[in-house]
Amino acid sequence: MLSSLTHFDLQQYWWLIMSVVAAALVFLLFVQGGQTLINTLGKTNDEKNMVINSIGRKWEFTFTTLVVFAAGMFASFPLFYSTSFGGAYYAWKIFLICFIIQAVSFEFRRKKGNLLGEKTYEVFLYINGFLGTFLLGAVVSTFFTGSDFIRNEYNLSAWQTELYGLEILFNFTNIALGAAILFLSRTLGALYLINNVDHAPIRQRARKQVGINALIFLAFFLYFLITILLKDGFAYHPETKEVFMEPFKYFNNYMEMPIALLLLLGGVVAVLYGIGIAWFKKSTKGIWFTGPGVFATVLSLFWVLGYNNTCFYPSFDLQSSLTIENASSSHYTLNAMTYISLFVPIVITYIYFTWKAIDKKKITAEDVDENSKHHVY
């Protein structure tokens, strides 16, 4: 069955896989969002520890998903990996440092005898929560707005600015998506903590944060979405592979791919519903509507970004732009990887039961005591 798939079929399949991973990653940023709310929701040491231990039990999911996305892009679309990670070097390096200090912080924050003290590790968590999420959004925005690199006939790329990725901050559309992802993560973090922490004062403060951060998120996201739907997009001819600017390209993609449009509309409705029931109805289940809504929305954005003859990593030098066709691995590599991908349902099943076991009991003050039988962060 798999041996009959063409190279193009496999390229389409692996863009779907990477889109799913990217969508899962954005949902899991509730961990980073929760980190930015530690002092806002926790007014005592016990309350801060409850917040940190709640999100601390899930930080490996976000970190692992990030690693899977990077590894998957390296294996399936290596030209993107070498161009972006080698070119936008400073932006990616700062981003990765943000996640490294997060892992260190959760591991050592409450270990006896640590040299830096709890406060220092909490600052690291703040840096990861604020800067890490913002940079992720800003970098992903360049998939729509373009980057300044040149690719030669040997598929060797060269970045054209000495800022090596930091120039993304000079484009307001990039800043808008960066801010949208930041405030989305804070909204998700508050929704998650409402559901996961059994402590009335924390839940009350978290509901307030849901309303504040959701409004800011929606303002930035709507600006970004309207901007990309109305702008010229990076398209390529399916036969000649020539790259050109197509008016309303991303809007056209939604019109020509109804499933992507349904995912976007359904996702937005689910996001708003989850926020609404948490804010107005005092529900603790908002995360289970907003989370899947975020997943569906991001999935739709990646579909219109890579499918329908669209350049998913465009360059200001149009013919240097990357597509799922010219950036992918060989037919042999993608085919071999596809057999491995058949084990994905097993991994998903493992994650489901692990998550369920972790969340079997809501976080309480007893769980963060030094003498607790649970691991404390």
Q: What angle (nearest 5°) sits at the alpha carbon of residue 73, between those of residues 175 and 144?
A: 30
Q: How far is CA 99 from the centre of its chain?
A: 13
Tokens, residue 209: 């944060």
Per-residue pLDDT tens over the stretch 62-91: 999 999 999 999 999 999 999 998 899 999
Q: What is each CA distance from 48 to 180, 199, 377, in whole angstroms?
A: 25, 12, 11
User: Tens of pLDDT along 27-68?
Assistant: 999 999 999 999 999 999 889 999 999 999 899 899 999 999
What is d(CA 298, CA 74) in angstroms, rounded to the nearest whole number?
20
pLDDT at position 372: 58
**Tell me: the pLDDT tens digits for 262-314?**
999 999 999 999 999 999 999 999 999 999 999 999 999 999 999 999 999 99
Ordered DSSP codes for 23-72: HHHHHHTHHHHHHTTHHHH--SHHHHHHHHHHHHTTHHHHHHHHHHHHHH
Taking only the tens place, the pLDDT of each residue in 229-249 is 999 999 999 999 999 999 999
pLDDT tens-digit map of 328-348: 999 999 999 998 888 878 878
Q: Assess contact for 190 and 33: CB atoms under 8 A.
A: yes
Average pLDDT over the chain reads 92
Question: What contacts 235, CB < 8 A, 6 or more positions away?
Answer: 243, 244, 245, 246, 249, 309, 310, 311
Helix (H) and strand (E) counts in the chain: 16, 4
- Helix axes of 331-341 and 7-28: crossing angle, nearest 10 degrees: 50
Which amino acid type is present at position 315? S
List b or e across 189-201, with b for residues whose CB sees 16 or more CB atoms inside 10 angstroms: bbbbbbbbbbbee
Model's pTM, two decimal places?
0.94
Specify the residue for token string 């998700």. Answer: 188
Q: Which of 93, 68, 10, 32 is nearest to 324 (CA)?
A: 10
3-state helix, strand, coil in the chain (%, to 5): 70, 5, 25
C-alpha 371/C-alpha 377 separation (Å) is 13
Residue 356: which residues within 8 A CB-CB, separation 6 or more?
none
